[in-house]
A = this chain, B = another copy of it.
Amino acid sequence: MTKCTDILQPLPNEISLSKVLHALSDPVRMEIVLKIAKAGQVACGAFDIPMPKSTLSHHFKVLRESGVVTSRREGNELMNSLRSEELEERFPGLLKSIIAAGSR
């Protein structure tokens, strides 16, 4: 029985470029990633994106399953952060340049 706190995410060497690019090709998800990049870590609820939470949850799921974001439970909420080191090792420079591009 999987609990909702079990977070599905690929191992570092299983992170797929296609999936990463697809995950980041959505403007909403990009916005999420930029905010996490700026703040270091952000809880799911801290995004004031006008959209039902089920939809937002879906976007987080895509980000997790692509290997871009990792989430851990912190008391009541889920804290999200970027898997910067793992991504940097697997695809050097990629995340940084995408974040820079998205910040323009």
Contact = CB atoms under 8 A, between A and B. Distances in A.
A101 interface: yes
Interface of A: 17-19, 21-22, 24-27, 30, 90-94, 96-98, 100-102, 104
B102 A92 contact: no
A98 B101 CA distance: 13
Contact of A25 (B18, B92, B96): B18
Contact of A101 (B30, B94, B100, B101): B94
B101 A97 contact: no
B98 A21 contact: yes
22 contacts: A17-B30, A17-B98, A17-B101, A18-B26, A19-B25, A21-B21, A21-B24, A21-B25, A21-B98, A22-B22, A25-B25, A90-B101, A91-B97, A92-B97, A92-B101, A93-B93, A93-B96, A93-B100, A94-B97, A94-B98, A94-B100, A97-B97
